Chain A
């Protein structure tokens, strides 16, 4: 049951999206019975394999992270404050990304506006109005010369940034990605020429910006894909995605194959982010926990949770050294975790509604949060 009662005076929910439903294929009675038996058989096989996999993973798990971290010096008192507040969006801020110049950011909002700011001076430098509401994804190009964004339009579009104040940015817009459901996340790869996207249609895809051509698609999630992050590896060929199927999948960008999969969260995974070395990644979920998955050990190695933390995590990111994990939560707070010891180091207040997005700056001097309270904050 997907619809809920619309109360009076409520702004109407955005236009409904097309859903992908498996069509009912009318079958002869006997064929249907056979099909069900095969499915049941396959399901059992799948379950058996899964159990075996967990056993194999457990065999090499000889120590816990916090045990290894006992010898590490504990962190001292933590003081971080809001250093900038960026006001200008007229509705919920949904996503943001940093420019490589360490001070500019792009942010997108429910009302369709995408704004480029110099967060240091708090000046707005560019603004674009998208033809759709709920712009859930935005990304800054590595060159700093363009931004990509998308949402309920099911597309990812690239806007070259022009410094001519009279120029309408929307005029040079380039439609790059096309999905069959909302765009949940997008990221440029190592250059301005390729974009990786994830979508409510359950897939991720890699696109050539210039031609709009689909270079590779990634199938494997059983429901909406909500987030993705590119691996900072030497060979730079993998990325991780998280979805409503509670799975985090690691993909090979060349072959399109899912090379690793983790399913330990109890609810939707809203955010995934690689540990700076690329050997692990963290995830944040509606189940109010953040988790750390080690790629070489092929398992979850830490859970960051507290009984008093009830609301889901919308967004996570590491500090530069990977020692700290910042999580933006749906209860308006930011929790700071000691990645090694597993303890919560600090809780930050300030936003007046959900924190929907959180990114550490490229040089690690600060992190930025965006919230449903229409503002963005820089913390340092």
Chain B
């Protein structure tokens, strides 16, 4: 409709690919065989061709993509919001109504992707046309923008007005139906590219990503190394996923629920209380988990404590102590490394040390050498050796021990808490002491939801 001076630059790949995909949907919708059934739509006294109802759009989407109605409505709404489909009734409201409301496809000329970026000049001409066509047709925010534009591009204002008049003159020579369609199309375009205040800007893509691709050639060394690596057959690896998911299914609250209840659903924190770090009696599921892997046992404070007790009985507790100290070195402050390494050497590695750990001579030599210039990872080899020793030897025996079996036997299986008989009676949501005050006495129990909480949204 006007002289286009658009640069394609500025549309990021992410945006382009989204537009392209939506355009594919559009094309499919307009397919002569599999596409949508169009009809004529009466608007007051004019008949607009090639229109479809909101209901039709949704039905077509459901059938084409095998999705439910809610999803089809959502997808269709995206197409409207991005300007690919526009409403004929209430054209200022870019919403998809799942009823007999009429819609039309936007002409590719007015696709945001075609005319990117929308130019100030074009917007000025559009507003000028509206202003000239009918007094008072400009809405408040449009008037503001119009006057701002007038100031900004004052030097081309004659051109703007001239173009506006020309376009208006040309459109008068069109049939009424075409004129209405063109106006709707253009309006829809500007509603998206210059949204009214308060309306979501669909073209807000957030931060640009510089995408500063370096000219460096992809590392050949990495590829060579990758070629040499050992790979495992897919059938073995993938079987692992099936087994893992099966093993953990009962422990997955989202999949299976949790007993006595999911705190987020019931507002009852019993589940968390029962599974606190240290409890008098752990839950059965928790103790079961210790048998899934050595890591599971060690990651649970109670599990580790139980394991330590077992090791003490076997006179090999120094292994776990050693492992824990090594963890401290690896994950602790840089400044404390030297001091900690010295302690570990004194307690665990030095000849005649109180809690001497049994490491093979090769690893021991390497470690002792490394200690001369201690760094964060100096204990890694020794730590791994002891870790695997415990894992292969002590851990399996622990699982067969009476200590573990008894723990499992007396572990509690919570009763399921039925949802309150009076569903409208909301449980009080108790607050908990913040971990940030570790060591301080527990905060006062706040029986009421805080003053700045949002209203309960789920009742």
Chain A residues close to B by CB (< 8 Å): 1-5, 7-10, 13-14, 17, 19-22, 39, 42-43, 45-46, 49-50, 52-53, 56-57, 60-65, 68-69, 71-72, 75, 80-88, 92, 99-104, 118, 120-126, 134, 136, 143-145, 160-163, 181-182, 189-191, 193-194, 200, 202, 208-211, 213, 215, 220, 222-224, 226, 232, 234-236, 244-245, 254, 258-261, 266-268, 275-277, 279-280, 286-288, 294, 296-299, 301, 306-308, 310-312, 319-324, 330-333, 339-340, 347, 349, 352-353, 360, 363-367, 372, 378, 380
Contacts and interface: CB of A to CB of B under 8 A. Distances in A.
Contact of B217 (A39, A81, A136, A312): A39
Given A134-B207, A191-B331, A223-B213, A322 B10 contact: no
A312 B15 CA distance: 10
Contact of A364 (B67, B120, B234, B252): B252
B264 A294 contact: no
28 contacts: A4-B11, A8-B123, A21-B212, A49-B224, A53-B223, A62-B235, A63-B234, A64-B238, A68-B235, A69-B241, A84-B264, A84-B458, A85-B457, A99-B435, A104-B434, A104-B435, A118-B434, A120-B429, A123-B449, A215-B334, A223-B211, A268-B13, A280-B241, A297-B231, A297-B233, A298-B229, A322-B245, A349-B74
A122 B450 contact: yes
Given A2-B210, A122-B452, 10 more contacts: A14-B207, A49-B220, A193-B334, A224-B211, A226-B209, A297-B234, A308-B75, A365-B254, A365-B258, A378-B264
B145 interface: yes
Interface string B50-87: 00000000000100010110110011001000000000
Q: Helix, strand, loop or mixed for chain A's interface? A: loop
B436 A254 contact: no
Given A311-B18, A319-B254, A62 B435 contact: no
A72 B263 CA distance: 29
Given A134-B207, A210-B335, A365 B253 contact: yes
A69 B435 CA distance: 41
Contacts of B219: 220, 258
A308 B71 contact: yes
A258 B236 CA distance: 25
B307 to A, nearest CB: 15
A8 B120 contact: yes
Interface of B: 7, 9-11, 13-14, 17-18, 21-22, 25, 61, 65, 67-68, 70-71, 74-75, 78, 117-120, 123, 145, 148-149, 152, 193-194, 197, 200-201, 204, 206-220, 222-227, 229, 231-242, 244-249, 251-255, 258, 262-265, 269, 271-272, 275, 294-295, 327, 330-335, 376-377, 380, 384, 387, 391, 429-432, 434-438, 440, 446, 449-450, 452-454, 457-458
Contacts of A254: 377, 380
Contacts of A215: 334, 376
Given A5-B117, A68-B239, A365-B253, A322 B244 contact: yes
A286 B387 CA distance: 41
Contacts of A118: 431-432, 434, 450
Q: Which 10 A-B pairs have the closest CB atoms?
A: A144-B435, A1-B9, A4-B10, A123-B450, A321-B248, A122-B453, A321-B252, A191-B331, A308-B65, A49-B223
A296 B17 contact: no
A340 B308 CA distance: 37
A141 B365 CA distance: 36
A353 B434 CA distance: 31
A64 B429 CA distance: 46
Contacts of A1: 7, 9-10
Most chain A CB neighbours (cut-off 10 Å) among B7, B210, B247, B440: B210
Given A288-B21, A365-B262, A56 B227 contact: yes
Contacts of B440: 163
A323 B255 contact: yes
Nearest to B267: A120
A301 B234 contact: yes
B434 A125 contact: yes
Given A122-B454, A193-B333, A223-B212, A365 B248 contact: no
A299 B235 CA distance: 13
Nearest to B201: A10
A237 B374 CA distance: 19
Nearest to A144: B435
A145 B437 CA distance: 7
A46 B221 CA distance: 9
A380 B265 contact: yes
A146 to B, nearest CB: 8
Contacts of A53: 223, 226-227
A364 B212 contact: no
A207 to B, nearest CB: 10
B232 A60 contact: yes
Contacts of B231: 56-57, 60, 296-299
Given A85-B454, A296-B237, A364 B434 contact: no
Nearest to A295: B237
B220 A46 contact: yes
A224 B214 CA distance: 10
Contact of A50 (B223, B255, B258): B223
Contact of A235 (B74, B235, B254, B384): B384
B152 to A, nearest CB: 8
B29 to A, nearest CB: 13
Contacts of B452: 88, 122-124
A286 B14 CA distance: 6
Nearest to A63: B235
Contacts of A307: 65
B293 to A, nearest CB: 8
Nearest to A118: B431
B145 to A, nearest CB: 6
Contacts of B214: 20, 22, 202, 222-223
A145 B436 contact: yes
Nearest to B335: A210
Contact of B435 (A45, A57, A143, A260): A143
B436 A331 contact: no
A201 B224 CA distance: 26
Contact of B327 (A20, A43, A190, A232): A190
A60 B233 contact: yes
Given A46-B217, A319-B254, A363 B14 contact: no
B249 A323 contact: yes
Nearest to A216: B376
B435 A286 contact: no
B234 A62 contact: yes
Contact of A321 (B21, B65, B245, B272): B245
Given A68-B242, A123-B452, A215-B334, A320 B226 contact: no
A370 to B, nearest CB: 13
Contact of B18 (A134, A297, A312): A312
B285 to A, nearest CB: 11
Contact of A20 (B206, B212, B235): B212
B210 A69 contact: no
B236 to A, nearest CB: 8
A50 B263 CA distance: 50
A206 B118 CA distance: 43
